[in-house]
Amino acid sequence: MALLTTVSDTILLAAKREVKFFNSDGTNVQHLLLPAFDPKNTKQSNDIEDDDERSEEPAKRLISQKEESVIQNIAVSPNGHLLVITTTGDKLVYTYKILATEKQELVSKRTLPRISSAIAFSSDSKYFYIADKTGDCYEFSCENVDLAGKWILGHLSMVLDVLATQDLRFIITCDRDEKIRVTNYPATHLIETYCLGHTEYVSAISFLPTNANQVLVSVSGDKMLKIWSYIDGVLLFDYALPSAGLKMILRKINETTSHVAVTLYKETNLIICEIEQASDQTFTVKLISEHNFKDCKEITSLVFENDGNILLASVNTNNSVDVQRLIFTSDKYVECDSVELNKNLGDMVLDLQYNFENISMLFKKRYDNIKDYHERKKRRIEDQKQNSYNIL
Amino acid sequence: MSKFPQKRFYRQRAHSNPIADHCFTYPSHPNEFDWKALYPNIGEDKVEFADIGCGYGGFLVTLGELFPDKYALGMEIRVKVSDYVIDRIKALRQVHPDKYQNIACLRTNAMKYLPNFFEKNQLSKMFFMYPDPHFKRSKHKWRIINQALLTEYSYVLRQGGLIYTITDVKDLHEWIVKHMEEHPLYERLGDKELESDIIVEKLYETSEEGIKVTRNKGDKYVAVFKRL
């Protein structure tokens, strides 16, 4: 996985066990390396000693490599002071203080029971929340950095994204079972509502920047982008995507307009749209552009830069990480030559056995065990009838 | 020939993986579900009782008789077992055309899809009778009662609503009581309150599992909890 995020004008690119900090033109590259990985730390105890049942849980199949541990998720606190990094094999949560672009201090190393799927910070930068692939969500303190993660909620399905509302009244999570759940916070034993309507996995949720206190945007494997009033779970608008949605970023353009970029599964790589909000909670969504990138196997991360440009990290057919920029010019996003940028960054080649997030796993496997049963039953009933006639 | 389904054609092993994908049809939102297909006379009324893992439906039938003006839904994950209950209710309705219009059974995974069927605060009673004990430690998270699921149940169960549990496995009974008491939204009812509830005595006798346990002279453990 190659992941992108920003701290003011500095861009962070994470892959394997390294985070690169650099300027937007790819210069002044600084490296942060995670402490050496000790395979002995991969906790077997938490793995399910599975036996007779076929392992149906996607999470379990994704995690095959016990012998290595790479960066799984990264997040920077809203105040820009903290960087949180989670890893796969040893399932650790590293918290770094960002003192300067070239100076970070490791302040804590905590453990996770399972591989993470998403990280979200509270708006006040005092907590962060980590969702995992078995459906649980944990709260971590930024102030008391040695405090272990506290379990706050659980889904019966892989949680794919997590958010905390600006006012910190709710935690919002979405899962592989088509659900978006709005849970009270800190009283997480009280579910406020569900936003229901998607018919496949919900992979990403974000607040609409023009109305972040009320309106939520979601993308799903059902090829829909949906806009919700999250307080009461009411669907406000939906928009058909050309293909199943994966990741999403949003940016406020003016008081009523936002831009949304969504990465897609197969066919098209990326779609960018404009969301216009009228005063009465009605919306229009308009296509701006669609993009396909040559030799791109998978876009693994994307981010809006301060100037409105979009930066993408992808894994190409040679298993190396590419960074690509789309330049924002008066309502258009133009693909630009990123050779110089990638050259400045230096090669980031992933191992050959690099495991792609197996996206097809997110779709439900719909095998029909009902039809066979009903056919057998029909035959049985007919046989019975036949037999009773014979007796007569 | 009897109209009633014969159980020997519907036997199925007692365990099911609740995390796995199955072939279920469920509405993406409660508004989209056609309740009239299950209860032709339901009109604007709503289901209030849910028997989670209703098995062969013995208790569900009793519920229908005890509360003729309330709608009860049995939810069962096993294909053949749920089909037995569906056929049984169909036969009961044919024999007694004016009765059993208030009970129905659905094949679904109640651990995952309750909010797809029920609105917030819709239910007044939920029943967990002889749930799968999932004895193995690694399977404990498949148990029908745990902290995360209790939160999900409290979404569909209204304040003051009741959760009834019965099991013949002492270890599971203790697990249930511990988790219910740990959860801030539930309070266990005392013996006095149980005595005045006509449902409680029926819990002991009316489900097939219950009758089997009685036949084997086993112990049964009942615990009832109020949603705060």
| C-alpha–C-alpha distance, residues A116 and A134, integer Å | 9
Yes or no: domain B46-227 corresponds to CATH 3.40.50.150: yes
Task: Tell me which chain B residues have a C-beta less than 8 angstroms from the C-beta of A50.
Answer: 138
Per-residue pLDDT tens digits for A28-64: 889 999 999 887 766 544 444 333 333 444 444 444 4
Tokens for A261, please give them.
């970029």
pLDDT of residue B128: 96
The structure's pTM equals 0.91
B55 annotated to bind ligand:
no
Active site amino acids of B: 132
Give the range among A36-40, A179-183, B11-15, B71-75 with minimum mean pLDDT: B11-15
Would you call B119 helix, strand, or coil by DSSP?
coil
| C-alpha–C-alpha distance, residues A113 and A136, integer Å | 9
B29 in contact with A at a CB cutoff of 8 Å?
Answer: yes
Tell if the CB–CB gap between B112 and A193 is shorter than 8 Å.
no
Q: Which residues of chain A have pLDDT under 50?
A: 44-65
Task: Tell me which chain A residues have a C-beta less than 8 angstroms from the C-beta of B151.
Answer: 153-154, 183, 188-191
The residues facing A131 across adjacent strands are: A118, A137
Tell if the CB–CB gap between B21 and A384 is shorter than 8 Å.
no
Task: Tell me which chain A residues have a C-beta less than 8 angstroms from the C-beta of B115.
Answer: 179, 194, 196
Give the number of residues written for chain B.
228
| C-alpha–C-alpha distance, residues A376 and A149, integer Å | 51
Per-residue pLDDT tens digits for A228-275: 999 999 999 999 999 999 999 999 999 999 999 999 998 679 999 999
**Other residues' Cβ atoms within 10 Å of the Cβ of residue A145:** 14
Contact B227, B186 (CB under 8 A): yes
Count H helices and E strands in chain B, helices first.
Answer: 8, 7
| Domain A2-47+54-367 fold | Methylamine Dehydrogenase; Chain H (2.130.10)
A193 in contact with B at a CB cutoff of 8 Å?
Answer: yes
pLDDT of residue A25: 86
Which of A154, A194, A368 is closest, CB to CB, to B115? A194
pLDDT of residue B18: 66
Closest CA to A127 of A111, A140, A118, A137: A140
Predicted complex ipTM: 0.91
Tokens for A224, please give them.
């829909």
User: Domain residue spans in chain B?
Assistant: 46-227
